[in-house]
Amino acid sequence: MTNHPKRDWRRHMQQAADQWLQTSQAKVLAEVPYTGPQADALRTRIRDAYLAGYQDGRKKENNHE
């Protein structure tokens, strides 16, 4: 039996969110206006928003298959 082609999509989604947090856009949003715990809280919110957009995009992609 072959593996399902999308079986690791959650892991890929989590990795993509972590990679996006390393971009200059995420760093500016998370680090410039705040320092300390506020930056960590904002970083978490940005990551959650990225994941929500990613999941929404996957739902739309799956509807067109």
C-alpha neighbours within 13 Å on the C-beta side of residue 59: 6
Residue 65's pLDDT is 46
Confidence of residue 42 (pLDDT cuts 50, 70, 90): confident
7-19 residues labelled b (16+ CB within 10 A) or e (exposed): eeeeeeeeeebee
pLDDT at 40: 84
- Contact between 46 and 30 (Cβ < 8 Å): yes
Cα of 37 vs its chain's centroid, Å = 20
Share above pLDDT 90 across residues of the chain, in percent, rounded to a whole number: 0
Helix (H) or strand (E) holding 3: none
pLDDT computed for residue 24 by the predictor: 81
- Domain boundaries, given as residue ranges, for the chain: 14-63
The pLDDT of residue 60 is 67
pLDDT digits (tens, 9 = 90+) for 13-36: 888 888 888 888 777 776 776 667
Helices (H), 8-36: 9-20, 24-31
